[in-house]
A and B are shown apart, each in its own frame.
Chain A
């Protein structure tokens, strides 16, 4: 932290403000709220007047500004300039013209400008500045001098007249300095290129590369190696870290029964092989990092898009991270939500346009670089400059980007460029999609070690409780073990950016499989040294999932627009497709179907009961919009891209209607057809299939975009199966079956909290509003959160629901009940004492209430809430 103050002119100065003829907009902007800023932006030209009274000039000036700026009064007579603001006006001049010799380690002539104190002390020849008196200040004399022996800087560009005037004004105003501001080159600059460190020798057979590095570190710090994690704690920690779920009692027993020496590795492999559990746990991490959610600010005005489908699929497939990054930076429509950011209706400050948001998000998510400061002015906290933030923004921009400094245009256009030209540069003159591709390549360039270090550090933090660079979004900071970070990064790249591989790499180390550190806050102030992994508080999602796991009270539906799990395998129940490709005519003759022709086709049908499970597949050559009972369920512009659509919540008992608006493409008549197959499971276990065929009807009347007709069509006629079904079917029928099986027949797993919009409990327990990228969840419980844990109704309701099952299962077997509660919640057996206490609390004839209370009392234990 270097800049902590805000500029406040001394009172004397306020009363002696120089009268000048021009308007200093900077002053207005420095002082103004965004209110005034916006007024200014709209008002165009404006004047600034001296207030009638002088009692409290600053306040009154501002009030008048508000008024006059806002309402274009032009009767202004006198305007006057503001005193210079140190951080914005003076620091850049000193840095630019004096930095080479007098900043950081440089003290030419004994003069350092690093702090106000060193400036006032002066150099070998004495003082260079007399606050309040520019005429007596040698620094001022030197910058205006023409004498080559005296002038400063001795070589290079002189200060401009405006800069000289600012400097003079500043000295005369007392040479104020923002408190705490220090000029210095950052003491640490992270390396760009990857580096493969030499591994220290193996000690005590701990040969895992991470352990060789960590053991050497521990030895150097003279710290004890943390004790190894026992099996039970290992099982619990890995299950929660890798899949976000409590390990089931059966899986724990299986693990303990396995006596092979590599059972821990097998266990880790097994967890990571569960694609759905893995994806739905890590979804939370990625949603936070890419600020993706299923609801939130911006959606209401259409200013924001989800990337949920793309992201879910990427995690299910374990898509290589470099490919993910490329697809996020140079996106398809499915992944574009990340780069497009949040577009607010109305005026937005220059530091939050979507182009600047792009620069900030790309910098933070992929590089752990904070460009938020630099998108307003040259950063005071790291090396990033305004031009660099704008350069990145300009890669994304479709219009020229005028650089704004603190919301004020500086008269220069940004040039599309990225942050590390050492690796190459984008071609600023290329069209935007090209530039984005170039950026994607540069970001994932094999020599970009910062890209890989940033992500492995995030994974390390998630699993080990604290980053190797910490905080994880301040990657300019020095790692506590550079070799470890570099090794992980190189290893990650060598494993083709395989996220699961790195997670496994960490999880299989003895370092990870160690007991977590007992943290003494006093000993942890400045110089962190590694003393073992740190406990993590359960995320909101983990806690909610765990409650659902032990009470069976997860909801049936979820908000994420995804079909869960991996589409693979078929079911004997759905071995063949029954649907036919249909249109208004059978054949593509030379005249029909016309290019661009659109028709509506429908099917009305009844169901004896609301389905317990239902899914469908819709497609059309060339495009379609699909509605079920008046609700739009699907739209497609590519007939070959097949996707299952979940329909449980759309279909109902009684009459149902499927309506598809199909549109032909092309420029000449060409074949067109629609295909739809829906599979419905009814409560009695039977199934029903609704599939497009000659019983469907078509009409040339099209509904409005909401799926409703302005006037009911009168021309419904029978749909006609296409003459040559194989044209389409041969290419995609297999995929249609796979997707339909996936959406309608695959066993449903417990819905996970990560798939739901944030409800009150999740928000209370720290799930962020994903308006901004938030990569670190609060690690500590607040009192308000604790109140909710005590009395939140959803939690109480879950416990009520769950207690029934527990009581039924272990009626009049209090010992077994207690053992299983401990096993399920804490993954271990209770001690004799714990069992006795719990059994006593349950009472001789325990009921659901006493079980609820025991469940709660165990849920609240730190042993449950902290992942150790």
Chain B
């Protein structure tokens, strides 16, 4: 890549954001020209695409992988408690509704902490997902994370890669695209997960730093195990000395060599910078760390906050998608969700409050979303060809394990958006009160939700890159339209 992250980002240091942005785009355009010969995707029309004025500088995506059931979380329906013999089709929610700090919004029991901070965000109840004819979670997740349904003729970049590519890092030494909490090895569908946890055709410069375990994140930016700082530095000095005395010094002007050395230098700067402390959760004061709880997701939220504080651009924190675990409830849904809520309720609320108290919420867009919702009886959506995949297809409840949202529902789901220029204390859209709980009011597609996110971050949904002669946009065919009504 011709545009090494560090060099371009030095521009951000002392100058105003607006100016830096302009220079950055110019630089990007130049980089685009320089890459021409190198067969890299190039930015088209850098001059003519007008980027919107950003309302957020950082973005945190809280990913509820596996299908978060709207009726049991943020869109309560008819609550029917567990009782042997109750017909399943009569059950809307398996949790009762609770009040929130916003008068007209009720959510479900177990989200008492989130209920207290809903005045900081917008709750969308009309997110529409595609029904792909057959449920493969990772395929829907690919779509949600890239805006394109696989298979595709080119490897599509992740949302975070778009931000890395178009905006670059906010802090020069902080990788612009970080994912937390999702293992990519040793779990089901891992190949499919890898297929979208990538910068695709943008190349790995814009790819994710993958941190599956928040508590081990510090290791990713530390010298290798067993190497103390002094040795790390002396190793670097040795490298530099040998380089300076290399008989191939005459190649120092070589374009490829220069770029190679710049990247090595950049890596060393991060690995020896103060900012890497952000990755180390052991440095968080005990009192504030405890407020996030001990769950992996809670630790991930804490890490996300620390990273954003240090200038991360895009951070995704997942509850981790593992087939049949967490939100992917094919059986025993109610009891699983009791646990899920315990794990996420407090950290989500704490993350928002911490960002707020640090004055970061206004410029940090936090989104909570999932690849689709779930339902007690309906698989897919009305008319879908998707196979029923519940483990216990029963008409009436007999055991507790039958009680829960065990089918994948694509007709409508919930999204939360906080900060970053979004309205506060607002409900947007609605789903039907009677089954099927499809989105009936102000449906919002993945494409338009993405356009909204990109717009908030100051990226035009029409931004165009060329790959293999084809124009490629952050939203399909550049057609995504931000939902203006969601903005402050």
On A, residues with C-beta under 8 Å from B are: 1, 3-6, 30-36, 38-39, 42-43, 56, 58-59, 62-64, 66-67, 70-72, 179-180, 295-297, 299-301, 342, 344-349, 351-352, 357, 360, 370, 372-373, 375, 379-382, 470-471, 473-474, 518-521, 524-526, 528, 534-535, 537, 759-760, 763-764, 766, 768-769, 771-772, 774, 776, 778-787, 789-793, 795-796, 831, 833-834, 837-838, 841, 849, 853-854, 856-858, 860-863, 865-866
Contact = CB atoms under 8 A, between A and B. Distances in A.
Interface in B180-225: 184-185, 188-189, 191-192, 194-195, 198, 203-207, 209-210, 219-225
Nearest to A296: B191
Given A370-B469, A518-B254, A790 B131 contact: no
Interface in B379-401: 381-386
Given A33-B447, A71-B438, A787-B271, A771 B205 contact: no
Given A6-B477, A769-B191, A796-B227, 12 more contacts: A4-B464, A63-B442, A72-B382, A347-B134, A349-B149, A520-B253, A760-B210, A778-B204, A779-B38, A780-B1, A784-B204, A790-B223
Contacts of B411: 70-71
Contacts of A526: 36
Contact of A783 (B143, B192, B220, B263): B263
A834 B36 contact: no
B440 interface: yes
A791 B220 contact: yes
Contacts of B250: 518
Contacts of B438: 67, 70-71
Contact of A297 (B150, B231, B243, B466): B150
B339 interface: no
Nearest to B45: A4
A780 B210 CA distance: 21
Given A34-B148, A352-B153, A782-B1, A67 B246 contact: no
Given A769-B195, A791-B220, A793-B224, A346 B263 contact: no
Contacts of A301: 136
Given A70-B411, A473-B468, A780 B153 contact: no
Nearest to B467: A372
B357 interface: no
A370 B466 CA distance: 14
Contacts of B256: 519, 534-535, 537, 779-780, 866
Nearest to A785: B204
Contacts of A771: 150-151, 155, 195
B462 interface: yes
Contacts of A347: 131-134
A351 B153 contact: yes
B245 A1 contact: no
A464 to B, nearest CB: 14
Nearest to A58: B481
B39 A776 contact: yes
The 3 closest A-B pairs by CB, nearest first: A346-B134, A786-B267, A782-B205
B301 interface: no
B129 A831 contact: no
A357 B151 contact: yes
B266 interface: yes
Contacts of A841: 234, 238
A4 B221 CA distance: 40
A773 B207 CA distance: 19
Contact of B223 (A4, A295, A774, A791): A791
26 contacts: A5-B478, A6-B473, A6-B477, A35-B445, A35-B447, A38-B149, A58-B481, A67-B438, A70-B381, A71-B438, A72-B383, A179-B48, A180-B44, A297-B150, A346-B386, A382-B469, A526-B36, A769-B191, A769-B194, A780-B1, A783-B270, A787-B175, A790-B268, A796-B225, A857-B239, A861-B239
B104 to A, nearest CB: 21
A795 to B, nearest CB: 8
B225 A793 contact: yes
Interface in B248-303: 248, 250-251, 253-257, 259-261, 263-264, 266-268, 270-271
B235 A42 contact: no
A303 to B, nearest CB: 10
A67 B440 contact: yes
A789 B469 contact: no
Interface of B: 1-2, 4-6, 33-34, 36-39, 44-45, 48, 128-136, 139, 143, 147-155, 175, 184-185, 188-189, 191-192, 194-195, 198, 203-207, 209-210, 219-227, 231, 234-235, 238-239, 241-243, 245-248, 250-251, 253-257, 259-261, 263-264, 266-268, 270-271, 381-386, 411, 438-440, 442-448, 462, 464, 466, 468-471, 473, 475-481, 483-484
A539 to B, nearest CB: 13
Contacts of A525: 33-34, 36-37
Nearest to A360: B153
Interface centre among B151, B152, B195 (most CB of A within 10 A): B151
B263 A786 contact: yes
B130 A62 contact: no
Nearest to A178: B471
Contacts of B198: 769
B231 A853 contact: yes
Contact of B443 (A3, A56, A67, A861): A67
A122 to B, nearest CB: 26
Contacts of A63: 442-445, 448
Contacts of B194: 763, 769
B224 A866 contact: no
A31 B248 CA distance: 55
B264 A831 contact: no
B247 A831 contact: yes
Contact of A853 (B45, B204, B234): B234
A769 B481 contact: no
Contacts of A779: 38, 256
Contacts of A372: 153-154, 468, 470
B217 to A, nearest CB: 13
Contact of B266 (A1, A528, A783): A783
A345 to B, nearest CB: 4
A43 B481 contact: no
B410 to A, nearest CB: 9
A800 B374 CA distance: 50
Nearest to A59: B481
Nearest to B466: A1
A1 B263 contact: no
A791 B241 contact: no
Given A34-B476, A352-B153, A1 B257 contact: no
Nearest to A775: B39
Contacts of A760: 184-185, 210
B443 A299 contact: no
Contacts of A71: 381-382, 411, 438
A179 B45 contact: yes
Given A4-B471, A857-B242, A787 B130 contact: no
B245 A831 contact: yes
Contacts of B259: 780-781
A297 B37 contact: no
A66 B443 contact: yes
Given A780-B1, A781-B264, A521 B255 contact: yes
A783 B225 contact: no
B468 to A, nearest CB: 6
Contact of B134 (A296, A345, A774, A792): A345
A573 B451 CA distance: 69
B221 A787 contact: yes
A370 B239 CA distance: 43
A783 B155 contact: no
B469 A373 contact: yes
A779 to B, nearest CB: 6
Nearest to A776: B39
Contacts of A346: 132-136, 139, 386
Given A381-B469, A769-B195, A866-B256, A785 B263 contact: yes
